[in-house]
Amino acid sequence: MVSTMRIGILGSGLMGGKLGTLFARAGHEVVFSYARSEQKLKMLARDAKGKAKHGTLREAVQDADAVLLAVHWSRIDDVLNQAGNLSGKVVITCCLPMNDNNTELVVAYTSSGAEELAKKILKARVVLAFNTVPSEVLFSVYEAAKRKANRPSLVYCGDDRSAKELAAGLISDVGFDPVDAGPLQIARYIEPFALLIGQLAYEGEEGPELVYHFERFGK
């Protein structure tokens, strides 16, 4: 870990709850926000066992060096309305632009969820990351990284260099090898790839603890 950061978790469900917990265990200060019960947020903060607390969306954003946006696509506007000013903030999104039944992407080919999000928060520095990993494998990857040199890959993309560096640090902190896929527009490729991961994880016979690993063959 390079240095301690303050990270706001906007959406504390499967992804936000677990990633927030791991960020806290890696030494960062975390504020969990946005669940349907405050009790759940309280317990997440308690169980994270690091410097974690809970608060409103606005409180999670206020002093944050970065926020993780981890809600269903249909909740994005609600979150942004309550979150307050995101100007200048690093916004790491793992959200996939799925329809209400989670059966298909509602944005694809000519744009992406990440790009549409960036249009809603023009002054924020949006990075797409963590959307190509099932939540079920996150704790195992974190634990394995303490022992193994061979880390699974995790792709990310964005247009702001320092925001991407920050995101890459967090990806590394939770046990993955960050793979810079380029500008935010590459989200058009990454988001459908995330659906492939979901297909293999949830429709395959071997369970959702799935990771991927890119390598340059012969090197």
Residues that bind ligand NAP (CB under 6 A): 11-16, 34-37, 40, 70-73, 75, 94-96, 98, 131, 134-135, 194
The residue (of 2 and 77) whose beta carbon lies closer to ligand NAP is 77
Closest distance of CB 218 from ligand NAP, Å: 31
Residue closer to ligand NAP, measured from CB, 28 or 32? 32
Closest to ligand NAP by CB, 42 or 75:
75
Count other C-beta atoms under 10 Å from residue 38's C-beta.
Answer: 12
Sign of CA dihedral 159, 115, 157, 18: positive
Separation CA 186–CA 188 (nearest Å): 5
CB contact at 8 A, 67 and 86 = yes
Least distance (Å) between residue 207 CB and ligand NAP: 13
Give the sign of the dihedral formed by CA 177, CA 178, CA 181, CA 186: positive
CB of 13 to ligand NAP, least distance (A): 2
Q: Are 114 and 157 in contact (CB under 8 A)?
A: yes
Nearest distance, CB of residue 26 and ligand NAP, angstroms: 19
Give just the sign of the alpha carbon dihedral 84, 23, 92, 188.
negative
Q: How far is the CB of 86 from ligand NAP (least distance, A)?
A: 17
| Closest CB to ligand NAP among residues 45, 149 | 45
For 61-77, give the DSSP string.
Answer: HHT-SEEEE-S-GGGHH
Residue, CB closest to ligand NAP? 13
Nearer to ligand NAP, 15 or 26 (CB): 15
Residue placing its CB nearer to ligand NAP in the complex, 117 or 168: 117
Nearer Cβ to ligand NAP (3/81): 81
At closest approach, how far in Å is the CB of 90 from ligand NAP?
17
**Residue 132 Cβ vs ligand NAP, minimum distance, rounded to whole Å:** 7
Q: Which tokens sit at 87?
A: 């100007």
Contacts of 90 (CB under 8 A, 6+ apart): 65, 66, 67, 124, 125, 127, 160, 163, 166, 167
**What is the token pair recorded at 30?**
């975390």
